[in-house]
Amino acid sequence: MGIKRLARDAVLTAAALTIFIVELQLPELVPIPGVKLGLANIVTVTALFTLGAPDALAILLCRILLGSLFAGNLMALLYSLSGGLLSFAVLLLMRKLLTKKQLWVASVFAAMAHNLGQIAAAILVTSTPSLLVYLPVLTVSGIVTGLFTGLTAQYAVGRLKNVLKK
């Protein structure tokens, strides 16, 4: 891994981490586990569409690991991981189906997948299938927050295209 690439990925991870920590300080929108803006995903989406899958995945994993550590909530690691990986898989899949101008669509589906993954992990961990009742609410919030992060990421990709060259 070249120095430049390492530095660039590290900066992006730091950015994602900062956004993540700042978001933690914001008051919750809804008192439902898993509902948040997921602003850090802006970085994931941006990285994927400019740098490619390996770099984006590395940044995502580092952010999740460090984020859980910094937030002092290692329990959340499992939920973040399952949500994060599932949404990443969806992003990868969607990338093949979309044009550059439709990037925000990938983000919407990724956000939904993220919440789905978190619910699945929560159901497994707490052995409480009835947590499924949160799925519709989480889908709505996924669409709304995914739209927001997606549009932001799309804007960022356009702007950072040249800066984040491989």
Partner 1 sequence: MKRTLFLILTLALLLASCAAPVKRTDTVFAMDTVMELTVYGDEALLEDARDVITDMESRLSVTLEGSEINALNSHGSAALSPDTVKLLEGALELCALTGGALDITVYPLVRAWGFTTGEYRVPGEDEIAGLLERVDYNAVALGDGEARLPEGAMVDLGAVAKGYLDDAIAGLWREEGVKSGLLNLGGSVYALGGKPDGSAWRVGVRDPFGSGYLGVIEARDVAVVTSGGYERYFEQDGRTYWHILDPKTGFPADSGLSSVTVVGQEGLLCDGLSTALFVMGLDAATELWRGRTDFDLVLVTSGGEVYITDGLESVFSLSGSYKDKEVKVIRRG
Partner 2 sequence: MAKTGTWVTIILVLLVLAIAASLFLRLRPAGGTIAEIYVDGRLERRVDLSGVTVPTRFTVETERGVNVILCEPGRIRVESADCPDKVCVDFGWLQDSAAPIVCLPHRLVIKLTGDAPIDAEVG
Would you tell me how many other CB atoms lie within 10 Å of the CB of residue 78? 15
Residue number, 50 or 115, with CB nearest to partner 1? 115
Rule CB under 8 A: choose which of 65, 66, 105, 120 binds partner 1.
Answer: 120
Three-state DSSP at 121 gives: helix
CA–CA dist 122, 32 (Å, integer): 12
Could you tell me the smallest distance in angstroms from the CB atom of residue 58 to partner 2?
Answer: 25
Q: How far is CA 13 from CA 17, 20, 30, 140, in A?
A: 6, 10, 27, 28
Q: Are 132 and 118 in contact (CB under 8 A)?
A: no
Instruction: Select the binding partner of residue 56 from partner 2, partner 1, none (C-beta < 5 to 8 A, by kind).
Output: none
Where does this chain bind partner 1 (CB under 8 A)?
81-82, 85, 120-121, 124
Binding site for partner 2 (CB under 8 A): 28, 31-33, 71-73, 75-76, 79, 97-99, 101-102, 105, 108, 112, 122, 125-128, 130-131, 133-137, 139-140, 143, 147
